[in-house]
């Protein structure tokens, strides 16, 4: 990192970040300038809907609802991401947002990736809103052309309040009387172009995205502060983590897994994602277990056939369902608590987590088996499988999305590319550059601009011990937090967080905080480097230092016996280590604090 090559890469990344910042600023400035009437506070109808919820809302659900209501109270459109694990109550949050919009005589579109999920959401909305004068419809390939034509006519004339649909909603013949809110469920299944196409339908609509594992581009957008983020991490009462195992493919193992689930009167999902040979796989499983009831489902089947198979599976007429990723979204069958995923190394991390979310929906212990056949799978695939095993507890979706962000890189925020400067210099560095360039474009001074890079080269053990924070990712997170400290008050914030989470802070970690304090105080007095030997601390000023701003005469008078000036370098002086202090680093910190007195 101390080479010219690194500097060149970083400079190119800075240029790219600057271009991003300008484009993003333009996009979000347009959006911020778009006005709409703020929505009123909760109406009596909304209170009635909230009171009719048969479960008790979790604290995170209530916070997400509050966040959305705050967005609605503003005079410009909302763009919020609700990130919550499967079964954690995102649908109820979205439903209440939709009802608020309908109460203002506007329409709501709920975009989902599959027909099965569309039907499930349609039934949920119809049942929850049955007591209210709200017309809900669904449009997908399940409907005949005549039905679709009737639905589109009613949508255009404002008869339909809420429309649930698949990609069918994106076609040109879909018109609304007054669309107020777009909800995108399982947003990781949609591309940027598809979402932008919806936004272009009406620039002042509110956007609400729901996901358990948002794609890196969307998550990075939320983390960069480009859209608002609400997390639902509180797990439902009584739910158990899904035990996840990684194994080399073995037909005997598969036989034992299926027999174990059937012995406790359960059912099994077998994910096999190759349509052309899925019937061969079904025959193979049938040979292993001749007495089981088995069927197949995939996306090339007719809608009526899919519906028929799913109905039979739901009614326990099928023991093992061999399926492609068509089951990835929204299917909720409490009796299915074992999943086998063949060739798991070929799936993305978000996709694996979504698939696993189809099981363990009740209080029964669930098991997911990730099988691979290729012994030479690449490093990224190994990381994905290990992440699935490590993040098996409930509420892991956000952590998995962050891990996916780390493995894949954030990609282009506005373009469809998934590589580039983020991969070259790392997510954290690119995020910092983007923040700095964004501040420059808007003419806002950033705190990073005021923090000059001070090099501290002194003899001290400063690190986070592994036995203090065992998880490597969390250790790295706190290294970053400490390195990003820009003000003395932030030192106490991070120190308190560490103490609350991990107990008494070791001396080596305290030394990290001391180095952070040295850097903060040194940057205030034009110092760019500090080094030491047995007798002296060497204090180097920046080459652009204006010494007219330093009261040199008073400083020399006060520190006559403790300071020696370097005759060969006018930008450096030597501070004699005082024996008054048992710890020389405390002496250095105190000196830098006092030196501020001499700045005019």
**Separation between Cα atoms, residue 182 and residue 30, nearest integer Å:** 18
Same domain for 79 and 155? yes
Of the residues 340, 372, 392, the one at which a domain ends = 392
Of the residues 354, 369, 392, the one at which a domain ends = 392
Same domain for 248 and 228? no
pLDDT, mean over the chain: 79
pLDDT tier for residue 452 given thresholds of 50, 70 and 90 = low
**Structure confidence by residue, pLDDT tens digits, 176-232:** 999 999 998 876 566 666 656 665 665 678 989 887 655 444 445 544 455 677 878
- Which element (helix H / strand E) includes 247? strand 243-248
Q: Angle at CA 74, nearest 5°, toward 70 and 79?
A: 75
Residue 218 pLDDT: 46
* Cα-to-chain-centroid distance, residue 313: 33
Q: Radius of gyration (Cα) for the chain, nearest Å?
A: 29
Q: Per-residue pLDDT for 20 more than 90?
A: no
In a domain, 562, yes or no: yes
pLDDT tier for residue 160 given thresholds of 50, 70 and 90 = very high
Q: Could you tell me which of 122, 145, 142 has the C-alpha nearest to residue 134?
A: 122
Q: Per-residue pLDDT for 242 more than 50?
A: yes
Same domain for 278 and 228? no
Same domain for 219 and 250? no
What is the mean pLDDT of the segment spanning 475-480? 76
Better pLDDT: 375 or 263 = 263
pTM equals: 0.57
Same domain for 383 and 332? yes
Same domain for 226 and 299? no
In a domain, 61, yes or no: yes
Better pLDDT: 445 or 370 = 370
Same domain for 269 and 166? no
In a domain, 185, yes or no: yes
In a domain, 341, yes or no: yes
Number of independent structural domains in the chain: 3
**Separation between Cα atoms, residue 163 and residue 166, nearest integer Å:** 10
The answer to whether the beta carbons of residues 233 and 402 sit under 8 Å apart is no
Better pLDDT: 138 or 113 = 138
Residue 137 pLDDT: 95
**Separation between Cα atoms, residue 510 and residue 519, nearest integer Å:** 14
Q: Per-residue pLDDT for 36 more than 60?
A: yes
In a domain, 26, yes or no: no
What CATH number has the domain bearing residue 555? 3.90.1150.50
What CATH number has the domain bearing residue 260? 3.40.50.300
Same domain for 285 and 260? yes
> Coil, strand, or helix at residue 304?
helix
Structure tokens at 344: 């798991």
Domain that holds residue 48: 35-232
Structure tokens at 525: 């007095």
Q: How many CB atoms lie within 10 A of CB 465?
A: 13
Same domain for 260 and 208? no
> Coil, strand, or helix at residue 166?
coil
The two beta strands, 179-185 and 243-248, are: unpaired
Q: Per-residue pLDDT for 417 more than 50?
A: no
Structure tokens at 315: 């009614």
DSSP 57-101: PPHHHHHHHHHHHHHHTSSS--EEEEEE-TTSSHHHHHHHHHHHH
**Structure confidence by residue, pLDDT tens digits, 256-292:** 999 999 999 999 999 998 999 999 999 999 999 999 9
Better pLDDT: 161 or 300 = 161
In a domain, 290, yes or no: yes
**Separation between Cα atoms, residue 344 and residue 474, nearest integer Å:** 27
Tokens 């024996």 belong to 579
Query: Could you give the dihedral angle defined by the CA atoms of residues 469, 475, 477 and 480, in that order, rounded to the nearest 10 degrees?
Result: 130
Of the residues 392, 408, 429, the one at which a domain ends = 392
Structure tokens at 313: 């599976």
Residue 172 pLDDT: 84
DSSP letter assigned to residue 239? -
Same domain for 228 and 256? no
What CA–CA distances, in Å, run from 157 to 61, 164, 274?
Answer: 34, 17, 43
In a domain, 415, yes or no: no
Same domain for 263 and 115? no
Same domain for 288 and 183? no
The answer to whether the beta carbons of residues 119 and 138 sit under 8 Å apart is yes
Q: Per-residue pLDDT for 435 more than 70?
A: no
In a domain, 424, yes or no: no
**Separation between Cα atoms, residue 187 and residue 213, nearest integer Å:** 9
User: Distance between the two ends of the chain, CA-based, in angstroms?
Assistant: 36
Residue 65 pLDDT: 94
**Separation between Cα atoms, residue 434 and residue 21, nearest integer Å:** 6
Q: Per-residue pLDDT for 509 more than 60?
A: yes
CB-neighbour burial class of residue 485 (10 A; exposed 0-12, middle 13-18, buried 19+): buried
């Amino acid at each position: 990192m101390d080479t010219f090559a690194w500097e060149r890469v970083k400079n190119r990344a800075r240029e790219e970040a600057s271009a991003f910042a300008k484009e993003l600023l333009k996009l979000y400035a347009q959006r911020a300038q778009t006005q709409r009437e703020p929505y009123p506070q909760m109406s009596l109808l909304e209170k009635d809907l909230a009171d009719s919820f048969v479960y008790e809302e979790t604290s995170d659900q209530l916070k997400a609802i509050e966040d959305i209501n705050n967005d609605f109270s503003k005079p410009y459109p909302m763009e919020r991401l609700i990130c919550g694990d499967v079964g954690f109550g995102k649908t109820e949050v979205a439903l209440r947002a939709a009802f608020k919009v309908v109460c203002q005589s506007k329409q709501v579109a709920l975009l989902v990736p599959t027909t099965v999920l569309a039907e499930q959401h349609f039934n949920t909305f119809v049942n929850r809103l049955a007591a209210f004068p709200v017309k809900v419809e669904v449009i997908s390939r399940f409907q005949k052309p005549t039905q679709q034509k009737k639905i589109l006519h009613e949508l255009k004339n404002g008869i339909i309040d809420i429309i649930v649909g698949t990609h069918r909603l994106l076609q040109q013949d879909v018109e609304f009387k007054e669309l107020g809110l777009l909800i995108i469920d399982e947003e990781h299944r949609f591309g940027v172009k598809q979402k932008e196409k919806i936004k272009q339908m009406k620039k002042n609509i509110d956007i609400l995205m729901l996901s358990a594992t948002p794609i890196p581009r969307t998550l990075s957008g939320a983390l960069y502060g480009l859209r608002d983020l609400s997390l639902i991490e509180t797990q439902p009462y009584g739910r158990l983590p899904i035990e996840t195992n990684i194994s080399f493919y073995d037909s005997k193992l598969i036989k034992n897994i299926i027999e174990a689930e059937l012995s406790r009167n359960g059912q099994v999902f077998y994910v096999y994602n190759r349509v052309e040979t899925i019937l061969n796989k079904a025959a193979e499983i049938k040979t292993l277990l001749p007495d089981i009831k088995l069927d197949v489902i995939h996306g090339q089947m007719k809608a009526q056939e899919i519906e028929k198979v799913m109905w039979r599976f739901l009614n326990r007429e099928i023991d093992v369902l061999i399926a492609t990723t068509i089951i990835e979204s929204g299917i909720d069958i409490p009796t299915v608590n074992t999943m086998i995923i063949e060739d798991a190394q070929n799936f993305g991390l978000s996709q694996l987590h979504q698939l696993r979310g189809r099981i363990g929906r009740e209080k029964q212990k669930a098991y997911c088996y990730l099988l691979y056949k290729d012994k030479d799978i690449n490093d990224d695939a190994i990381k994905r499988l290990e992440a699935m095993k490590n993040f098996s507890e409930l509420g892991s979706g956000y952590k998995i999305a962050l891990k996916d962000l780390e493995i894949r890189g954030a990609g282009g925020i506005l373009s469809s590319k998934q590589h580039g400067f983020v991969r070259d210099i790392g997510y954290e560095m690119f995020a910092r550059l983007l923040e700095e360039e964004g501040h420059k474009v808007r003419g806002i001074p950033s705190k990073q601009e005021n923090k000059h890079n001070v090099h501290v080269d002194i003899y001290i053990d400063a690190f986070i011990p592994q036995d203090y924070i065992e998880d490597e990712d969390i250790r790295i997170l706190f290294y970053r937090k400490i390195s990003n400290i820009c003000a003395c008050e932030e030192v106490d914030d991070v120190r308190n967080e560490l103490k609350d989470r991990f107990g008494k802070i070791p001396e080596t970690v305290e030394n990290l905080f001391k180095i952070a304090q040295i850097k903060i105080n040194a940057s205030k007095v034009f110092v760019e480097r500090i080094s030491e030997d047995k007798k002296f601390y060497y204090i180097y000023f920046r080459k652009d230092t204006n010494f007219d701003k330093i009261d040199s005469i008073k400083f020399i008078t006060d520190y006559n016996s403790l300071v020696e000036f370097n005759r060969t370098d006018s930008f450096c002086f030597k501070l004699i280590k005082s024996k008054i202090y048992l710890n020389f680093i405390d002496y250095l910190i105190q000196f830098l604090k006092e030196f501020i007195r001499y700045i005019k």
